[in-house]
Structure 1
């Protein structure tokens, strides 16, 4: 086996070119599977160590005061790399620092073969939730005693490398050969390692029986499902007694199980609604255990009545929780075999047919695309679903995915005999046989808009996170289009034309070339239209007051708001685009006629023709949508355009939503199904379900309505505090932000960080973050902010939890679904009550409609929405029976406005403290 020198460095910063320096070196030499040498030394960096680095590593200026200069240890270190692979977790970082220092000391820069364990882990562990060294160590159960210290990190990197090499030996021969064909652009020098393993496998009799070949790809073989032979209890009541009251039920599978009356009540309500064919709304507050409470009766009803039950969630996070936690628990509890299927849209599943073609035809791929291909090759040997949500492709990987998802297959390909092993086909087939189907609101609502149902027939549905159903339905009953959508189809169509030219006959190329000028003209016409729309938005919103929650400039698109000359210009442009699309379509018909007349429809040309035709058909479809959007003036729809004022001048986003989604939901969903259960922790305002039933169009259907309170002792766990001395934000936003920052800083000192601060506006979050950066020292608190600190919501949450004293600023998605239990969160600060922006086109249109019908738009729409959002935010603090903390609301409307009581009376009853900010801080200190 080769020699590997594994290195890890701690430094004063991330950029050697900006004169950041090394403060610690850790090296481990690994050979023939054994550690043969170790080296560790602190280094005097000839500059101060920043507080952030000290906070991260524990290395202080005092620690390195008497340490050697790098030049003193450079010769010894340089020799350790002789004849070895250089290995590091993020090789460019460590090698960049080392070579800068070696050159500074008069030594040659290292030019050895390298292995980057970040890259290698991404390829060989594609389903890992993260690729930081600590995350991988935790996942692989590798002991990591001293994170962010050089030698400790180097030792863990050796263990990781050993594990990854072991994974190499388990890959099928064909996967190794395909990796060899694409490996050259990767950072790691894998060629020799791959060739050695390929040679070993070629001369070995060992077969991999865990994979099958599909379109030339090694894909994990699906194991047969085991069957359980026990019988179902006689009655649902007996079954619940067994689950909730006997030692063989929930108590046998849940640690420290406590009986919850609300959980049983909810289970009974779901079952009763199913059996009596009624709809039901169930608000189940935090701690109810609602997932098990609806899964248990759903499974029982589905199996005993042989009727499928569909469960729809809003977030993939809840889907994962159901599949990984609650469903395995129910399987242990339920004595009869049952089938569960997860079903998503076609765009979620990989097409092995398309990926196989992409591997054969791919050229000029950038690094991200090559890395994505390598990850997918390994993932195919592991996945049984083919669902892209299992892995995290690099940023540009989404462009590859757009070409290889099942969404890009045509019906002929999807259901052809040659494609019988399609992951999408298997998912659909599994769903057809399943007792329980888990899906999402998006697919559920998409299904309602299709002429032919996508999902298998069902009549019993549970909608979890049901407060999102109206918003999701509104989105899917409407339209979202932008120039990028057209651009994507154009680019793929152009790539196909280019790739196929050499394989086509002269006559075929003649037909194709006649249509390329039309295609190019189409691109130009479309670019002109979107640029015109961009200027239209700017002209009608000169002050750029109306903005979306992500800062885009908005304009409500109605014919009576546009000058006749502008409308005439748009009409002319749209008609030019329609003419070009139709001519492109006629060209494809001519090509088809030629292929049939000459009887030259080989498998290859037929496949190419289907692929190109598919793109042209999609262009026809979105052209029809564009035509309808811009030229038809629909009274029942609200349409609006959004632009990035500082972005590309053809970057225009077109949106539409129905003004009244209630009637459509009532007709297509609630009147079409026997029983629908809507559940969430937040469905009521002041204990009334009226708002949600009106929004969903089911008030006159008289659904069952059950409110299940939390079993947690909120009165002992939470203090609600509202200052009475905050400046009026309407008078002076700057003063309000200053007061907010002072309150955050004061409270953080009391709670030792551990604060989540929720905003309703990204602009205010950004201004608050900038001011806090000025008043908070880095060694005091770590400050994380959504949209400013890099990373996803989940990554920000984990970073927040990783530091002892940290503050997290969030907006939008942080108001719900963020679970930070225990001591990690002691204070939730709500800066403003979460009212929708009154200038949003959908809000305005629905408010106008309510006023026309003689209703109060604020009481009927704005206030209930804000109250439910407030309840979601409030729910971030208490996630278990032992959590304890403060909810601090900066918005004095909670106590001064007449509607404030709606917010207070909609959350669990907790002590309310109203006082000056200074007095509240004293009370917080005393209470905590």
Structure 2
């Protein structure tokens, strides 16, 4: 069948069952990969079009009043689809509507084979940042003239389908063959297309120069890099002159280059630190050009001394920015050739061996698993890194991925043919030969707390986004256990008869009761799962019962409770500890049986490598569970720990998470890290409070005797670019006026949005307050004038919400926690930043509570030493969202009058750049904002 018909509909709503109707049809016909026909018509839905749909599509009631009814066009529509594939971007939606209308008008439903371009794009373009039609079009350079109109959307979908077909025809035989085995799970009827392609490939040799295959799996061929040696002749001063000064390489490279004194100063401080074997704390404000400021001396030092330098970031976003933007840019204007490598933890890299083994195991595949396998098959023909962060997997696809990551491999045999093909080993080899290694705080800390066995040896390291370093180190020295992960593990192991890991081993080796206690296994498994259920439900109830005394909500809406043996209700706590003992007892029994199997089969020399790996990895995971539970409930560990429980009040009655973290990481960092490294450079836009580094220095355990500190101010003219507005007439929350305060906030949001035409980012400290404000704003905004996007309410990741915000002209984005930093919205996309409350952590947050108590016991003030500095640093991060370039202009509206009225308020205002501040009535502030814009 060579005819493909693409359809796109505009409708009055999402559901034909709720009497929603089609208002526009767009149809595009493709034959022999060429668009041969286009049709479009408006339809009269015999009902009013909702304002939101009119806003989105531009179709109003007046436009359709003269339009035909569906039944007048029904036969023509049926005729167009004769002997063709039916294609749509989310085919179940469009086909569902068409068939509902056809059935309502006494016509036969369309039974064509279907192709869903959302699904096919996920499979064939696994690296695409989004699968929405507009964003796919821009990713693939397809012009999209008139989004949300049926013909334009159908035309773009047709162009997309032609690209999908081209991509399919570029894939190697092995990949198509595997896709063919998976296709019965797909929505799209691709069997015929895949079968034709297999036939073509069977009789021709495809031109696949850069594709290699092994054991039936095709993947991109990657050459190992060769390290060239280069001798640096120039002095560091000459090197910087050639880059930074007038007519230097930066000026030659960038037409709009403006010399920034702070950037060169940063490079010099880092070089001095390297050469005096000192550590450094450098606060480089927005606009300094911090990344280049540290990359330039790092490259010089690494190549000159032939010793690697590690650069660690907190977010993968900054890692990508360094690799994709900063490093290529630096290569253009410095003459020193250098090698750079990115290294992450093992869990980030796919294991080709594990994936090959799992590919044929389709018995337990659900749709998400089949889709994940298909995406990975195509991705392997493109990826040079094997880093899973390149792909947007479906949510439950990550459960499958856990089984096939390099982390799931046990003992790696260097003699294995897979070893030389391993992405993780390639990344390690590349890192060994590199001058600069980019990694993340998580791997840096894992390496530090595991005798430095994960990263190649290094003496000098630059830590960017360093305000997160203490928290990351604490998390990695601590631990986390949760119900979902435990039950998932036991479900993976399975009973003796359900075809999961345990049953598979029994079947593969014909094991019987005389070899191992099979009946006992099923009993142990059931009892363990029952006891885990019981334990976590009891913990859930315990936290709820303590809730009256400890009302601590996390920023994602979980209820938190810090537990300490001596202060718990002894009767209930004794019962909980007995339950923990029973769980660990049954887990030990399970480990015992798994060990008997492994030993018995190894002695018989019949145990398959993969089955052995499964048995050993499950044994290790169960042992980790036992160690974790014992640390949480029975022992203290070598470093005093803060232990707490979080429950998801909206989840099931066992949605429980257990955590522990050291109460003070500073001594550990001082001994294990700062003492053993020659030079650690810590940099961020936010390290000081009132121009002092004391807080961060103490938290990290940095000794003053070999420490350089420097604050580099922003080159931006904040006085001209920003107005800081603070209302003096908001209700005071202290007196229980929470609802009044939220109402005042929402009124201010709407009034400011009218002045700035949306383009507002509103930062909350509490998810609960965000949710209430979102509901109230939804009621107030009646005419859909503004697109309202709420973190945790509007679906999508942080970067997805940010993209949506930038897509719409008049949008208001409500964010909490992660939106306070690392979100770049430059230019006119963001004109107003509202900070609802000063970002103090709740005083009874488990970690804060414990650390404050410790400070108090040492005669210190927990508020001044901990709460306030953390809040100031977070406030500075939030403030930094507004101005991202020298041409940005905007207002910061802080609803919290404590910034003026309290003695500690000046710590906030004196920690940000000097900007004009107005403290006045909301009415006067709005007038001022309007005049200023």
TM-score (norm 1): 0.97
Work out the number of aligned pairs and report it.
925
Please state if 1:529 is matched with 2:532: no
Cα separation, partners in 2 of 1:699 and 1:863, compared to 1, 3 Å: farther
CA distance in 2, matches of 1:866, 1:597: 60
- Out of 803, 806, 813, the residue aligned to residue 811 of structure 2 is 806
Q: Distance in 2 between matches of 1:255 and 1:136?
A: 31
Question: How is 1:201-350 mapped onto 2 (pairs within 5 angstroms)?
Answer: 201-223=201-223, 225=225, 232-245=232-245, 247=247, 249-350=249-350
What does residue range 489-504 of structure 1 map to in structure 2 within 5 Å? 489-494=489-494, 495-504=500-509
Specify the alignment match of 1:569 in structure 2: 575
Q: Give, in angstroms, the shift of residue 805 of structure 1.
A: 1.2
Distance in 2 of aligned mates of 1:319 and 1:242:
27
| Cα offset, 1:430, TM superposition | 1.5
Q: Distance in 2 between matches of 1:862 and 1:908?
A: 21
Note if contact 1:558-1:633 (Cα within 8 Å) is conserved in structure 2.
Answer: no
Mapping of residues 443-592 of structure 1, within 5 Å: 443-451=443-451, 453-494=453-494, 495-507=500-512, 510-511=515-516, 513=518, 514-542=520-548, 545-592=551-598
Tell me the CA shift for residue 530 of structure 1. Answer: 2.2
Residues in 2 aligned to 1:91 and 1:695: alpha-carbon distance in whole angstroms:
55
Q: Which runs of 5+ in 1 are unaligned?
A: none
The question of whether the paired residues in 2 share the 8 Å contact of 1:544 and 1:553 is answered with no
Relative distance call for 1:414 and 1:639 in structure 2 (3 A) is farther
In the TM superposition, residue 247 of structure 1 has moved relative to its aligned partner by 3.9
Structure 1 distance, partners of 2:4, 2:852, is 67
Q: Secondary structure at the match of 1:184?
A: helix
Q: 1:20 maps to what in 2?
A: 20
Alignment of 1:76-95 (within 5 A): 76-95=76-95
State the Cα deviation string for residues 199-224 of structure 1 (Å, max 9, x = none).
00100033522122234311100046
Corresponding residue for residue 861 of structure 1: 866
The offset of 1:362, in angstroms, is: 2.5
Q: Deviation digits for residues 425-454 of structure 1, max 9, x if unmatched?
A: 111221122111111111111222214521
Give the drift of 1:188: 0.5
Post-superposition offset of 1:231: 5.7
For residues 704-747 of structure 1, give each alpha carbon's deviation from its aligned partner in whole angstroms, at most 9, with x where no partner exists.
11111111111000000111111111111111111111111111
1:508 CA drift (Å): 8.1
Q: Which residue pairs with 2:696 in the alignment?
A: 692
Distance in 1, matches of 2:910 and 2:678, equals: 34
Q: Which residue of 2 aligns with 1:744?
A: 749
Q: Distance in 2 between matches of 1:415 and 1:446?
A: 27
Partner residue, 2:197: 197
Structure 2 CA distance for aligned equivalents of residues 437 and 677 of structure 1: 15
Post-superposition offset of 1:580:
2.5
2:900 aligned with 1:895: yes
Residues in 1 aligned to 2:399 and 2:619: alpha-carbon distance in whole angstroms = 19
**2:926 alignment partner in structure 1:** 921
Kindly tell me: are residues 384 and 508 of structure 1, through their superposed partners in 2, closer, same or farther at Cα, counting changes over 3 Å? Answer: farther
What residue is the counterpart of 2:850 in the other structure? 845
The change in CA–CA distance for 1:161 and 1:330 in structure 2 (over 3 A counts) is same
CA distance in 2, matches of 1:588, 1:230: 54
**3-state SS in 2 of match to 1:41:** strand
Would the alpha carbon gap of residues 571 and 736 (structure 1) be closer, same or farther in structure 2, given more than 3 Å must change? Answer: closer
Match of 1:911 in 2: 916
Give 1:629's aligned residue: 632
Q: 1:333: how far off?
A: 2.5
Given that 2:212 and 2:221 are in contact with CA atoms closer than 8 Å, whether structure 1 keeps it comes out as yes
- The equivalent residue for 1:644 is 648
Change (3 A) 1:647 1:203: same
Q: Give the whole-Å Cα distance in 2 for the aligned partners of 1:415 and 1:227.
A: 24
| Matches of 2:300 and 2:786, distance apart in 1 | 50
Kindly report which structure 2 residues correspond to 1:42-81, keeping only aligned pairs within 5 A, or say none: 42-81=42-81
TM-score by length of 2: 0.96
SS of match in other structure, 1:312: strand
Instruction: Find out whether 1:677 has 2:677 as its counterpart.
Output: no
Cα deviation digits, residues 609-654 of structure 1 (max 9, x gap): 2311220122012201211211125682111112223533332211
**SS of aligned partner of 1:828:** strand
**Aligned in 2, Cα 1:589/1:30: closer, same or farther, shift over 3 Å?**
closer
**8 Å Cα contact 2:477-2:661 kept in structure 1:** yes
- Return the offset for 1:471: 1.1
What displacement does 1:332 show?
Answer: 2.1
Contact 1:211-1:218 within 8 A present in 2 as well: yes
Distance 1:607 1:88 in 2: 41
- Cα distance, 1:646–1:12 mapped onto 2, change above 3 Å: closer
Q: Gapped runs of 5+ residues in structure 2?
A: 495-499
Structure 2 counterpart SS, 1:588: helix
Whether the 8 Å CA contact 1:820–1:879 is kept in 2: the answer is yes
Contact 1:71 1:105 in 2 (8 A): yes
Q: Is the 8 A contact 1:230 1:335 kept in 2?
A: no
Structure 1 residue 866: Cα displacement = 0.7
Distance 2:615 2:226 in 1: 43
Deviations 1:301-333 (A, max 9, x none): 001101111111011110110010001112223
Q: Following the alignment from structure 2 to structure 1, what is the Cα–Cα distance between the partners of residues 285 and 868?
A: 20
Q: C-alpha deviations, 1:158-213, integer Å up to 9, x for none?
A: 11111111111110101000000011111110000000001001000335221222
Correspondence for 1:713: 717
Q: What SS is found at the alignment partner of 1:705?
A: strand
Aligned partners of 2:231 and 2:304 also within 8 Å: no
After TM superposition, the structure 1 stretch with the greater mean CA deviation from structure 2, 785-794 or 223-232, is: 223-232
**Structure 2 CA distance for partners of 1:22 and 1:325, relative to 1, 3 Å:** same
Q: Does 1:610 align with 2:613?
A: yes
1:248 offset after TM fit, Å?
5.6
Task: Specify the alignment match of 1:824 in structure 2.
Answer: 829
In 1, the alpha carbon distance for the partners of 2:39 and 2:226 equals 52
Q: Which residues of 2 match residues 145-156 of structure 1 at below 5 A?
A: 145-156=145-156
Residues 1-20 of structure 1: CA deviation (Å, up to 9, x unaligned): 61001111111111111111
- Deviation of the 1:557 alpha carbon: 1.4
Task: Look up the SS of the partner of 1:808 in the other structure.
Answer: strand
Extract structure 1 runs of 4+ deviating beyond 6 A.
226-230
